[in-house]
Amino acid sequence: MASRDVVVGSRIGLHGRPAAIVVRTAAAQGVAIKISTGERPPVDASSIIAVLALGAHGGDTVTVEAAGEGADAALDAMAEVLARDLDAETETADA
């Protein structure tokens, strides 16, 4: 299983809209993706409830894991989204 550590770029963390963007990205990858933070066990990254329950804050390091064909590309996509400040992007879109 391939994995990657990523620092959460959203200032407030994986709440509401940022979590939804992460979940949509995970669901679109075509491989199962797990996400974890700290000592917590990995959860399904395509589940909004599971991602919200992680309680990941801005600046926290999360680990994303994927297995199978396309795992590296899936991790690239997840890392790119997780590292962005999705809070700032949301504010800009709402303005």
Q: Which residue reads 């297995």 in tokens?
A: 67
How many CA atoms lie within 13 Å of 43's alpha carbon, on the beta-carbon side? Answer: 20
In the annotation, is 57 catalytic? no
Backbone phi and psi for residue 58, each to the nearest 5 degrees, phi listed first: -55, 135
Task: Report d(CA 25, CA 45) in Å as an integer.
Answer: 9
Catalytic residue among 15, 40, 57, 84: 15
Residues classed as catalytic: 15
